[in-house]
Amino acid sequence: MDRWFKLRKITLFNFYNYMGKQEIDLTTNGPNNIFLFNISNGGGKTSLFHAIKWGFYGNAFDYYKSGKKMSLSDFMNTSADQSEGFYVELSFEYDDSQYILKRQYKPPMSKPILSLMKDGYTFDETNGSMILESIVPRNYGSFFMFDGEDLEQLSSAQNDAKLVEGVLQLIGLKEMKDLRLKIIKVADDYKRDRDNALTQESKDSTSIAERDKCEAQLKRIQDSIHEFKKKYDDTEKNIEKLRLEREKYSNTEPIVSEHNEITRKMGVVEGKMQGYKENIIKNRERFFIEFIKKDMNEMIKEKTEESKGLEVISGLPHDSATIIELQREIISNRVGPCLVCHKRMSEEDIRELKAEIESSESRYNRYAENKKRMDVLHKEIRFLSDILNWSSSNLAETIEKYYDGEYAVVDHKKQLDEHDKLLKDSGHDVISEITKQIEEEVKNGASHEGTINKLKDEERFWNKKYDDCIKKLKGSENISSLSRKYDSCYTKTLNIVDGLERVIEKGIRTKRDSILRNANTVFKKLTNKSNIYEGLEYESDKTYAFAILKKSGGRAKNPSAGETQVIAMSFLIALTMCTERNSPILMDTPLAKLDEVHASNVGDMLASLDNQILFLAQPMELSPHVMEGLKRSIAKQFALKLTDDNNAEILEVRT
């Protein structure tokens, strides 16, 4: 029967941005299990996560904020009276008893003070720490108080030996393994006491010498067995790594598909480049202009500015000077009748025209002094403008597109070279080399195993000789009841060790099967590819790392980040089902990296659990679909209100 573990109240005092005393009531009369905290980034969500975890574990874990490791003093609210310090108090129910845990720090203490009360009785700090460790062992915090950002890391760590040990602790088997080691030590003590007594009591020096020789041989053999077992284990690990590495190269289909797509794109680009090239060749006589266009425009600008400057000096615009010249020509040539009205200029008209010319005489003379230079400038401006007009209006753009195409082709060729290498590696060289390495490691493993078996045969031989010596010594008339007592105790403890070993092996098999079965149930509810994926299986019989099985056969290669998180979530939920305790699960932004379908499925899954869930979420995680799955199991909702001095106040949202 599961032991129930539920948080009832969280009290914070001056913890980070929670100033003063603030309480979060987690009691509820109904069966709903989810306590939802909807908190924006920067609002105090991670601080609340740290507060709960620190309350249970103190400095046993490292805490980070924005990638920076936090010190104990960083938890102190900067607006509060520093002499008051800070504390976290957690009220919880465990196995039908009521507990109040308080962890407090006040400067200038070197470490926090822990206080634990059970059903009204307060333990001293040493006993309180031991009891707390039995309720929430460190591995509980590693597995069931997690930041969603760390889920991918957890998935990759499922091969880690420390994680395997942590799992054994949570499912109650590590204690049995530790007990077995302690009993082995007791057996060794009985054996040593028996042998010492036999040495003192027996007068058979030959048998004693033979026994000592057997012991020396057995120690040598056992050391060698230990050495070769380590080599064998290392070989097995290498084989597993190489097989996983080979799987990366074995799936060439996506590489071929991408290779073909890049080739197609490069063909399209090269076709366009051919058109650009023909256009450039067609206009090649104007091609040089593109390279001096900027300089020519600069020259036109300079000459235009110089011409305008000369006009300012002359006091007469070029157009006005041209009119005066025409007027002078009319007077000097006595132009005939007008072509339009057929009239001649009268004497009066001529006098007026002369007067107008004379009034502009001084300005025109100044203009005339600069006219030669201005004419040259105007001629040069027209010449440069005409040359610029020769250039095709889209030639520069065509040249730019051609060069862009060249860069694209170079990039595509680089990608194709990389794919060619991958294809070559995956099809021939790499797979072949890895296969050779695997075969070599298999041979090494078989050799180590053979050596171990030979050593065990030798061990059995020397054990038999050793037992014969002991029998001779025990058969001596001088042997006392004390020696026989030690021998009896030694035999009984060995029988207990053997029995425990069988129980542990069976327990591990049973629990592994149960974790896998539950993980498959969870995974099938979470995945968005139920039509493609069959489920999960262990990558090996020595770890808790999962691989995804495809319905078409084989394992899924390189799962996405979302799928990796779903695998980790499946493992964690399955693990909590096998711990024989119904414990709270504290989650900080578990859905942030998941797509809408995965996130919605996780929401449905959490709502179906019996465990108390403290869900610290960002608003972006709580889409309508996710909320639809969660709402049927939400016990209470909380929000945070930021004050003007950036402190946070926790508010229950009543719906």
Q: What DSSP string describes 299-332?
A: HHHHHHHHHHHHHHHHTS-HHHHHHHHHHHHHHH
Q: Looking at mean pLDDT, say which of 241-255, 421-435, 613-627 comes out highest.
A: 613-627
| Residue 206 CB neighbours (<10 A) | 9
Q: Kindly state the greatest CA–CA separation across the chain.
A: 172
293: tokens are 């266009």
Say what percent of the chain tops pLDDT 90: 23
Check whether 291 has a pLDDT greater than 80. Answer: no
Give the SS3 label for residue 138. helix
Percent of the chain residues topping a pLDDT of 70: 87
User: Strand pairing partners for 546?
Assistant: 538
Mean pLDDT of 418-446: 73
Closest CA to 39 of 654, 655, 637, 644: 637
Share the mean pLDDT of the chain: 83
Region of residue 366 (left: phi > 0; alpha: psi -120 to 50; beta: else): alpha
pTM of the predicted protein model? 0.60
For 282, what's the count of Cα atoms within 13 Å in the CB-facing half-sphere?
11
Give the chain's domains with CATH numbers.
Answer: 204-283+392-475 (1.10.287), 295-388 (no CATH)
What is the DSSP secondary structure assignment for residue 43, as one 8-state letter?
S
255 contacts 423 by C-beta, under 8 angstroms: yes
Contact 156, 582 (CB under 8 A): no
Using an 8 Å Cβ cutoff, are 82 and 67 in contact?
no
- Determine the 3-state secondary structure of 648 from DSSP: strand
Task: Give the span between the Cα atoms of 434 and 200, in whole angstroms.
Answer: 60
pLDDT of residue 68: 82
What is the distance between the alpha carbons of residues 14 and 85, in angstroms, rounded to a whole number? 7
Surface-to-core class of residue 368, CB atoms within 10 Å of its CB (0-12 exposed, 13-18 middle, 19+ buried): middle
Average pLDDT over residues 594-611: 86
Residue with tokens 């061990």: 459
**DSSP tag of 611:** S
The answer to whether the beta carbons of residues 34 and 613 sit under 8 Å apart is yes
Window from 162-166, 336-340, 358-362 with minimum mean pLDDT: 336-340
Q: Please give the average per-residue pLDDT across 222-245, as a whole number.
A: 83
The reported pLDDT for the residue numbered 428 is 46
| 3-class secondary-structure state, position 360 | coil
pLDDT tens string 1-32: 467 899 999 999 999 999 999 999 999 988 89
Residues 6+ apart with CB under 8 A from 386: none
Q: Of 451, 449, 455, nearest to 221 (Cα)? A: 455
* SS3 assignment, position 11: strand
**Token digits of residue 523:** 């995974």
Residues 6+ apart with CB under 8 A from 625: 596, 599, 600, 603
**What letters, b where the CB count within 10 A reaches 16 and e where it falls short, cover 295-307?**
ebeeebeebeeeb
